[in-house]
Structure 1
Amino acid sequence: MLLGFRPSLRLLSPRLQLLQSRCVQSEHPATSAAVGSVLSALRSICGEGGVSFGAAVREQHGRDESIHRCCPPDVVVFPRCVEEVSALAKVCHQHNLPIIPFGTGTGLEGGVSAVKGGVCFSLRNMDQVLDLHPEDFDVAVEPGVTRKALNSYLRDTGLWFPVDPGADASLCGMAATSASGTNAVRYGTMRENVLNLEVVLADGTVLHTAGRGRRPRKTAAGYNLTNLLVGSEGTLGIITKATLRLYGIPEAMVSAVCSFPSVQAAVDSTVQILQAGVPIARIEFLDDVMMDACNRFSSLSYAVSPTLFLEFHGSERSLEEQVLTAEDITQSNGGSDFQWARDAGSRERLWKARHDAWYAALALRPGCKAYATDVCVPLSRLPQIIVETKQDLMENRLTGPIAGHVGDGNFHCLMVVEPSDPEELHRVHLFTERLARRALALDGTCTGEHGVGLGKRALLCEEVGPEAVKVMQRLKDSLDPKNLMNPGKILQ
Structure 2
Amino acid sequence: MDHPPVTQTFRDELSNLFGDRASFSLVLREQHSHGEGYSFQGMPDAVVFAETADDVADLVKLCRRHGVPVVPFGAGSSLEGHVAAVRGGVSLNMMRMNRILDVSVEALDCRVEAGVTREQLNAHLRTQGLFFSVDPGADATIGGMAATRASGTNAVRYGTIRENVLGLTVVTPSGVIIRTGGRARKSSAGLDLTRLYVGSEGTLGVITEVQVRLQGLPEAVLVATCQFDTFENAVATVTTALQSGLRLARIELLDEVQMRGCIGYSKLEGFAAKPTLFMEFHGSPAGVREDGAAMQKLALEFNGRHFRHAERPEERTLLWKARHNCYHATKWLCPGKDNMGTDACVPLSEFAACITETKQDVRDSGLIAPLVGHVGDGNFHLGIMHDRNDPDETARAEALAVRVAERAIRYGGTCTGEHGIGLHKRRFMEAEHGAALDVMRAIKQALDPDNIMNPGKMLPDRID
Q: Structure 1 residue 464 and structure 2 residue 433: aligned?
A: yes
Residues in 2 aligned to 1:44 and 1:218: alpha-carbon distance in whole angstroms = 44
Percent identity between the two aligned chains:
46
Say if 2:335 is the partner of 1:366.
yes
Question: Counterpart of 2:5 in 1: which secondary structure?
Answer: helix
What is the total number of aligned residue pairs between the two structures? 458
Equivalents in 2 of 1:274, 1:128: separation in Å? 38
- The answer to whether residue 124 in structure 2 is matched with residue 141 in structure 1 is no
Question: Cα distance, 1:36 vs. partner?
Answer: 4.1
Partner Cα separation in structure 2 for residue 129 and residue 45 of structure 1 = 26
SS at 2:47 equivalent? strand
Measure, in 1, the Cα distance between the counterparts of 2:118 and 2:201.
18
CA distance in 1: counterparts of 2:314 and 2:219, whole angstroms: 16
Asked if the contact 1:75/1:119 (under 8 Å) is kept, the reply is yes
| 2:67 maps to 1:84 | no
Q: Deviations for 1:319-338, whole angstroms, at most 9, x for unmatched residues?
A: 12211221121111110142
Within 5 A, what are the aligned runs for 1:149-298?
149-210=120-181, 214-298=182-266
- Give CA-to-partner distance per residue, 1:404-456, whole Å, 9 cap, x none: 10110000111111111000111111111111111111111100000011011
Q: Which amino acid aligns with 2:10?
A: V
TM-score, with structure 1 as normaliser: 0.91
| Aligned mate of 2:42, from 46, 71, 93 | 71
Q: Equivalents in 2 of 1:44, 1:155: separation in Å?
A: 42
Structure whose CA Rg is larger: 1
State how far apart, in whole Å, the 2-side matches of 1:123 and 1:69 are: 20
Q: Give the partner amino acid of 1:384.
A: A
CA distance in 1, matches of 2:289, 2:275: 25
Q: Which amino acid aligns with 1:308?
A: L
Give the one of 83, 90, 109 matched to 2:80: 109
1:318 to 278, 281, 287: 287
The two structures, once aligned, show a CA RMSD in angstroms of 1.3
| TM superposition shift of 1:91 | 0.3
Given that 1:263 and 1:386 are in contact with CA atoms closer than 8 Å, whether structure 2 keeps it comes out as no
Instruction: Provide the C-alpha distance between the structure 2 equivalents of 1:250 and 1:368, rounded to a whole number of angstroms.
Output: 41
CA–CA separation in structure 1 for the residues paired with 2:13 and 2:177: 20
TM-score, length of structure 2 as denominator length: 0.97
Q: Take 1:255 and 1:475, find their aligned partners in 2: how far apart are those partners?
A: 44
8 Å contact kept, 2:385–2:397: no
Shift in Å, 1:277: 1.0
Partners of 2:441 and 2:165 in 1: CA distance: 24
Task: Give the distance between the partners of 2:410 and 2:8, measured in 1 at CA.
Answer: 53
**Aligned counterparts of 1:406 and 1:262: Cα–Cα separation in 2:** 16
Residue identity matched to 1:447? T
Corresponding position of 1:49: 20
Residue 15 of structure 1: aligned partner: none
Contact 1:378 1:443 in 2 (8 A): yes
Distance 2:449 2:404 in 1: 35
- The alpha carbon displacement at 1:43 in A equals 2.9
CA distance in 1, matches of 2:272, 2:37: 30
Describe the superposition over 1:105-146 as per-residue Cα deviations: whole angstroms up to 9, x where unpaired.
Answer: 000000001010001110111110012111100001111100
Partner of 1:398: 367
Map 1:398-437 → 2, pairs under 5 A: 398-437=367-406
The amino acid across from 2:224 in the alignment is A
Counterpart of 1:95 in structure 2 is 66
Letter in 1 for 2:156: V
Cα contact 2:222–2:289 (8 A) shared by 1: no
Which residue is 1:39 aligned to? 11
What amino acid sits opposite 2:364 in the alignment?
A: E
Gaps (5+ residues) in structure 1?
A: 1-17, 24-34
* Cα distance per residue 1:268-316 (max 9 Å; x no partner): 1111111111120110000001111110111113121111000111111
For residues 375-414 of structure 1, give each alpha carbon's deviation from its aligned partner in whole angstroms, at most 9, with x where no partner exists: 0011121111111111111112011000110110000111
User: 2:34·2:42 contact (CA, 8 Å) conserved in 1?
Assistant: yes
Give secondary structure in 2 for the equivalent of 1:209: strand
Greater mean alpha carbon deviation, residues 234-243 or residues 263-272:
263-272
